[in-house]
Chains A and B, each alone.
Chain A
Amino acid sequence: MSVRVHVSRDAAALALGAEETAAALLRAAAAAGESIELVRTGSRGMVWLEPLVEVTVGNERIGYGPVQAHEVEALVREGLLKGGAHPKRLGVVDKLPYLASQQRLTFSRVGLIDPLDVDQYQQHEGYAGLTRALSLSGADIVKQVTDSGLRGRGGAAFPTGIKWKTVLDQQAEQKYIVCNADEGDSGTFSDRMLMEGDPFCLIEGMTIAGLAVGATQGYIYLRVEYPHAEIALRAAIATARQRGMLGRNVLGSGRSFELDVRMGAGAYICGEETSLLESLEGKRAEVRFRPPLPAIKGLFGRPTVINNVITFASLPIILARGAEFYRDYGMGRSRGTLPFQLAGNIRHGGLVERAFGLTLRELLYDYGGGSASGRPIRAVQVGGPLGAYVPESQFDTPLDYEAFTGIGALVGHGGIVAFDDTVDMARMARYAMEFCAAESCGKCTPCRIGSTRGVEVIDRIIAGQQREANLALLTDLCDTMQYGSLCGLGGMTPFPVVSAMKHFPEDFSRKG
């Protein structure tokens, strides 16, 4: 009987050598006369353990990691295929505290199954949500989504059910479902991990959305920096079409839903929904004035649901288990779970899906294990490049949309980037302005010109020129950007800048 061995094919695992490790396993097993069945999965999200090798022993998966290709031969000789003892042996993977304490609803299958095997997907509750949705009216599906309390996971946290209701209420011959897979925020990779590790979940979620609002065509707008996700999505879509889960007769219901992948081209602003729609239409991706809302006049002028990858991927379980099941997780008005992403200078970086309400400190220390450098964590940027820098004194804030707004910060897409005490916050503030200048779509002056001025002013502050006057100027400039910009790029770049000035003033008054 052959031994089943799992190795991830997730981009982060590949970046750390998983392909070479997988090849070495096949060679070593053959040389040892052992027969193995190698299954390539998504990642469990424990990135510091990649390449992670999981060997099935009985009903359990025993982990070894990180395992580089050159270590494989010796490991196999010493009994890896029997789950034998070794310094790299981690034990039963599901019981590792990092995983066992998570609440994986959206990521329940990621790392467990072969992402492209739709039968495995179905054996693990896949398509149960869509099957239930097919027995409901559009309005009832929307009601389930509203009752679940789900808010958009792309950053703005707008209630998903309300957005869908607007689209449902439009009379139009053609409506669209668009998935925002532009994931441009530094420190975030949950969209990528889901698309690579469980693409059918996204496909199912978008199909449910199509049924709910009466749309028959969907597009996934994927950033070009994610070639592995592109391969996974295209393969899964082809299988879904072949197996009747997409196309003219979804699961034999007579209902139709088609799906295509479109690639972005390296512009951060294309994550902003109206810019994304312009890009999908083949244009320069300048942000649109609102109104009209995309829900009323979206892609090609038609009513359009646009949601983030994780928003769509949360729908199958909401439909399968019911709105109440999902709503029971979380705190306050932040219902359900969020896959948080631990990144930067952190020992145990990776993905942690938990209900809203745990604190930043728990994430950084209980999961993250503190900084990778071993030095104190001094600042944490939450919610991407437009998110505030949070100082240690605020680490006990619960991760909840309203609690973070209360401290002038945001949860956003759940990216958490840790910096140790060697960071220079004046330089990070400068970077925020530089990034805004590089990525501005150019439509409005406060953003386009303001960000370039911002870099210059911070340069003068760093150089020690007329500091008081320049700090006041920077504060004014941030004000103008925040209140005078058309979209969040210009409007929120002040968050990292102002929070850096407020919480780390000493970095703006160093001797030059």
Chain B
Amino acid sequence: MAEIDTAWLTAVDRIVAAHADQPGALLPILHAVQKELGFIPPEVVGRIAEGLNLSRADVHGVISFYHYFRTHRPGKHVVQLCRAEACQAWQGQATEAHAKQCLGVDYHGTTADGDFTLEAVYCLGNCAAGPSAMIDDKLYGRVTPERLEQLLAQHRRQS
């Protein structure tokens, strides 16, 4: 654990140094940390705060405000399902229900094998070809329950 912490802190110091001179640097820094570490470990919050001359509570307050930032390590793949109106209007609920059943988790949950984290998202801008899903950084349209199952199987093989 101690070793990992050191690696985290080194990464965070580098990221903070690279961004600190831009105005409003906190969000870009949090994005960069999450991109590199997969999440924002609570252990690094103090270090970010120090780097920007903020209080730990300030940084924590920002992280908790935004749905996108996570403070726990996610599964190997993050599956985001669109819950918004246009996808609901076209088969989205069936896909949502099926995803929860296949993975055995609810939103924000990670499967026991650590392969998948399921997240809800409100519109992916793919509303003319719903239901929409994003798995890691890749967007998928017309994700019916059957198609979702194929995609999950495909990603399970990869991991």
Contacts and interface: CB of A to CB of B under 8 A. Distances in A.
A11 interface: yes
B143 to A, nearest CB: 9
B68 A227 contact: no
Given A282-B26, A283-B62, A284-B65, A48 B128 contact: yes
Contacts of A227: 137
A341 B128 contact: yes
Contact of A343 (B27, B66, B69, B128): B128
B30 interface: yes
Contacts of B62: 282-284
Contacts of B85: 186-187, 344, 381, 385, 417, 428, 431
Given A372-B90, A385-B85, A435-B122, A344 B127 contact: yes
B112 interface: no
Interface string A154-191: 00000000000000000000000000000111111100
A225 to B, nearest CB: 5
Contacts of B142: 16
A224 B62 CA distance: 16
Interface string B127-150: 111101010010111100000000
B67 A263 contact: no
Interface in B1-51: 23-28, 30-31
B67 A349 contact: no
Given A279-B27, A417-B89, A225 B134 contact: yes
B125 interface: yes
Contact of A345 (B66, B69, B90): B90
Contacts of B31: 224, 263, 265
Contacts of A346: 128
A15 B67 contact: no
Contacts, number: 145
A279 B26 CA distance: 9
A324 interface: no
A263 B27 contact: yes
Contact of B121 (A47, A187, A266, A341): A266
A385 B62 CA distance: 25
A300 B88 CA distance: 39
Contacts of B25: 282
17 contacts: A14-B139, A16-B142, A183-B125, A184-B122, A187-B84, A187-B85, A187-B123, A267-B66, A282-B24, A285-B65, A300-B24, A343-B89, A349-B128, A385-B84, A423-B89, A428-B88, A431-B85
